[in-house]
Structure 1
Amino acid sequence: MREKFQPALRNFEGGAFGKGRGLEHHLLFYRWHHNQSLMTSPRFQTIHSGSKIKRRVSVRIMPPFPLWVFLILPCGTFGLENGLLRTPPMGWVPWERFRCNTNCAHDPDNCISEGLIKAMADRLVEDGWKELGYEYVNLDDCWAAKKRDPQGKLQPDPERFPSGIKSLADYVHSKGLKFGIYSDLGNATCAGYPGTTLETIETDAQTFASWGVDMLKLDGCFSDSATKAVGYPKMSAALNKTGRPIAFSCSWPAYEGGLPPKVNYTLLGKICNLWRNYIDIEDSWDSLFRIIEWYGNNQDTLQPAAGPGRWNDPDMLILGDFGLSLEQSKVQVAIWAILAAPFFMSCNLRNISDEAKGLLQNPQLLNISQDPRGIQGSRIYKSPHFEVWRRPLVLGQFALAVMNTGTDGAPRPYVTALALLGISGCGSGYKIHDVLEKRFLGTFGSGKLLNHEVAPTGVALLFVEPLC
């Protein structure tokens, strides 16, 4: 999904949370088994009496998918069954930083070409990215020639990819990395290059497999809803049929508003490894924040859909480019880790700042991102100044992201206790680490107050480890 398509925004959640104070306090009544609320002391109830707390019940609504779609698919080939992406994929894509720059005569270092892809593959290996799990090097739009070859197959632009895609994939593989490619379900890609039609799906799948492709992103410009309903399952089956393990990234839900009844996440989990479901990210805080809010506002639908081998994709990582401050860059990596989102960087790895590199290579952050349980986290609290996001991890651990959504220019202290965030039960207490600042904050009982100062449009990412 590129500039051609911008789905309508939905209103953010409302609700009165009381007027702001010098210190931000809150009380979250968390639903336990048999609808029992978390008990808190009268002291906490008094402190938080000005807040309006909402109890949330997750409801997963999955409308039946049209029968005719199932009838046209070959028996026994529906669904991925590829065993791939048991944790969210990590790697690099060119789009946000390099867009559709095809002017290699005047800008050879930054145009979409085999030289750029090789340079980024080199950087992934030589600068320590690969060993941390960043393993995919993916092409986006604008790699293809303007016409298919005489046999009706997609082909790369001969001037920008003179060695061919197979040779480029071989180079990436020689580095111990994986290679991804882009196409579009339609007569043309979003940038106007040859697309994949219903008639060419099997040919294109076989072509990608013969080139050694490890991931396919299939966009959805220039096709209607009926074509998408046939084409995405058909491509999933065609990829399976090649015999090559090719992860499948679908843009289908983004073109249908991202939500039921038009989007069937049960079906998506059977045919796609990951999927875009909202607007394209742009290099700005406003864009990033809109995506975060959409995920929070619609998490009751989105969270159950995600898990090992099937991931919601809020779009690429834009830190390391030009539009985010350091604090805002921290927000993106923290929330993406909480969401179990793919970690696809889109920056120039040849001159990425030390600060951005330090965030993206933070080992504890990546451990949260790649937690093997694969549970997508959720927003558990929202006020005019703060949001709290929580993700359950292995071994009874948790990740917490405390985000200051204010823009008033001054850091704001946030006071809470683990019990108020639904974390309790370990009588020996919990170790808490500030992940992005790389600081150990101490050992806390579930009722001990935790006071943390967070910068405007910034975040504190906390790792909570039980001692029992």
Structure 2
Amino acid sequence: MLKKIITTLLSFSFLLCGNFPVSIFYMEEAKASSFNSLGDRPFMGWSSWSSIRKKPTEQNIKDAADVMAAKFKSHGYQYVNLDDYYMLDWTTTVDKYGRWVVDPKKFPSGMKALGDYIHHKGLKFGLYVTLGIPQGAVDQNTPIEGTLYHAKDIVDLRKGQKVNFNFKNMYAIDFSKPGAQEYIDSWAQLFASYGVDYLKIDGVRNQDIQDVEAWAKALKKTGRPIHVELSNNLDIKHASTWKELSNGWRTDHDVEAYGKPTLTNWKKVSRRFDDAAEWHKHAGPGGWNDFDSLNVANGGKDGLTEEEKRSYVSLWAIASSQFVIGNDLTKLDDYGISLLTNDEIIGANQSGVAGKRLYKTAASQVFYQKLPDGSYNIVLFNTGPSSQNASVKWADLGVEGSAMVHDMWSHQDLSSMDSGFTTELSSHASRMVHVIPTSLSGNRYTPYDVKISSVPAAPDWVMVDRKDQNSVTITWNPVYGAESYTVYRKTINRFGFSSGYTLIAANLTEPNFEDKTATFRAGGSYSYVVTGKNAIGESAKSPKAQSDSQSFVLVAIPMMLFFTVIILLKLFSTIRDKYQLYRTA
């Protein structure tokens, strides 16, 4: 997929001379989040909140997953995120350890089954939580899992309630008390048992940093890679803290137009221009600014003109915001789909560079990304009420001489521009272009072949499930830039000894493989690693995943007996030798 985006973005008929290799910025070259090694690039997915709001069900989330897999997964979208209102009223109903209870009427099969459904589509499963401990847990003084402590041992009723947008009554936790961290640990383990890959933590304020730290620790302890997103309207003064503890943070209030018949409006969207300018320096591999969801594909329900919708997506793309669809996926219009699946625009969003604002006037703004190969992505916006020209001067970008211009929305090559670029824009319209200074090739104007110069990242989240007595299924997350995958296996005997990894499957184009030679062996197991490949080469190996976990009875006890016998034989031999020596004496 990444190759498709890069090739589309760079294979222009007017490109520079000769075989000129371009350095593409791959995310694995950059440092990910310090606490969970995720968030190499802005996440792409869908959230239930904008369109479903208070009425999520097992079926409408499955329906969304079906559409995501069919229409959007091939363009890089991965996450299906269930937001609020999936739980029972926690002021009275909590589980035996004081955590929220999933509403069995809305989700009769439970969260684990829903997560499995989403994963089998090759997608990731997201869920929602707010800070604190529920009133129901405190009233019932529920035990904290794995400890001798109870809810009343950790609650701090002196402080105000935590922000919650549903049933309220989430009480503060005193993290100086024993059992406090363990309570959050138990909740994180519960989410991990569902198969959660993403967690939105809502209602975060400056005074909640200790709570967020507790959740970051707890999620890391699960051993499961879980993307952490903080919401909403976070304080930029604590940007370094948000980045240390999460993979993304909402920079403003919700984009939804509450109380209106539409999902959003231009006033809500245009607030993000200043957000993009102020927050850009805090975004990068490991953590990204989150401007909220994209509501551009439900026709008039969106509350925007077609030009406003395109500007909406262009701003999110140039700023490298999290790229989250908010629309009802069962009622998509063709224009909206075209906006959300334009691979050149997605390429800008996934470039790893958060765009900066170059100009701001009363009625226009220009943002740009300077890419590692020396080229630029630029968006010119008309933010005013009437048509006007918008311009960018190459000199203001530090570009000397002329540059060649390509329209990223229409995929049209324009021409070489001597000193800048000017375009006429209607009200709230925009133009997004890719610009290549001709100085990169000594100011020559002949075509060349673009060559990608990096291998893909290692696949992650490899899972092994035994299908029957003779076979297992291996699945993993698809990797940007991988044209195929290779699977390696090693066999581990009941004593824990194994050979090295050997190749068992190559040139796989889907992120799954059935190993039909993995015969079940009591006490033994199989270990698998996966790599991605493209024209440049093969990635590093994925983290290993193992089948048929060896039991203590079948492995540890035989090994203990084996070494016990050796020790007893040695002891017997020593006693015998001493006895014979005694008799001789």
Do these two structures clear the TM 0.5 threshold for a shared fold by scoring above it? yes
Distance 1:386 1:179 in 2: 39
Distance 1:332 1:213 in 2: 29
Tell me the residue number matched to 2:40: 86
Residue segments in structure 1 that go unaligned for 5+ positions in a row = 1-78, 102-111
Counterpart residue identity of residue 320, structure 1:
A
Distance 2:273 2:133 in 1: 32
Percent identity of paired positions between Structure 1 and Structure 2: 32
1:234 to 198, 205, 214: 214
Q: Which has the larger radius of gyration?
A: 2
Counterpart residue identity of residue 414, structure 1:
A
Tell me the residue number matched to 1:245: 225
TM-score norm. by structure 1 comes to: 0.72
Tell me the residue number matched to 1:159: 105
CA RMSD of aligned residues (A): 2.0
Q: How much does 1:423 deviate?
A: 4.3
Tell me the residue number matched to 2:296: 319
SS of the aligned residue for 1:320 comes to coil
Tell me the residue number matched to 2:270: 289
Distance 1:149 1:461 in 2: 51
Distance of aligned partners of 1:279 and 1:95 in 2 relative to their CA distance in 1, 3 Å threshold: same
Bigger relative contact order, structure 1 or 2, given CA contacts below 8 A and separation 6+? Answer: 1
Distance of aligned partners of 1:196 and 1:312 in 2 relative to their CA distance in 1, 3 Å threshold: farther
Q: Does residue 1:124 correspond to 2:68, yes or no?
A: yes
1:288-437 to structure 2, matched below 5 A, reads: 288-296=269-277, 299=278, 302-321=279-298, 322=301, 323-371=303-351, 374-408=352-386, 411-420=387-396, 422-425=397-400, 429-437=402-410
Distance 2:133 2:319 in 1: 33
Q: Does residue 1:144 correspond to 2:87, yes or no?
A: yes
Q: Does residue 1:191 correspond to 2:166, yes or no?
A: yes
Contact (CA 8 Å) 1:84, 1:309: kept in 2 or not? yes
Residue segments in structure 2 that go unaligned for 5+ positions in a row = 1-32, 135-163, 174-179, 257-263, 441-585
Distance of aligned partners of 1:165 and 1:80 in 2 relative to their CA distance in 1, 3 Å threshold: farther
Counterpart residue identity of residue 351, structure 1:
K
Contact (CA 8 Å) 1:80, 1:240: kept in 2 or not? no
Counterpart residue identity of residue 132, structure 1:
H
Q: How much does 1:197 deviate?
A: 5.8
Q: Does residue 1:216 correspond to 2:216, yes or no?
A: no
Q: Deviations over 1:17-36 (max 9, x none)?
A: xxxxxxxxxxxxxxxxxxxx
Tell me the residue number matched to 2:247: 273
Contact (CA 8 Å) 2:124, 2:197: kept in 1 or not? yes
Distance 1:155 1:197 in 2: 19
Counterpart residue identity of residue 433, structure 2:
L
Q: Deviations over 1:81-131 (max 9, x none)?
A: 322120100000011112113xxxxxxxxxx0111111111101112x001
Aligned pairs, how many?
Answer: 357
Distance 2:241 2:392 in 1: 40
Counterpart residue identity of residue 135, structure 1:
Q
Tell me the residue number matched to 2:428: 457
Distance of aligned partners of 1:268 and 1:185 in 2 relative to their CA distance in 1, 3 Å threshold: same
TM-score norm. by structure 2 comes to: 0.58
SS of the aligned residue for 1:131 comes to helix
Contact (CA 8 Å) 2:399, 2:437: kept in 1 or not? no
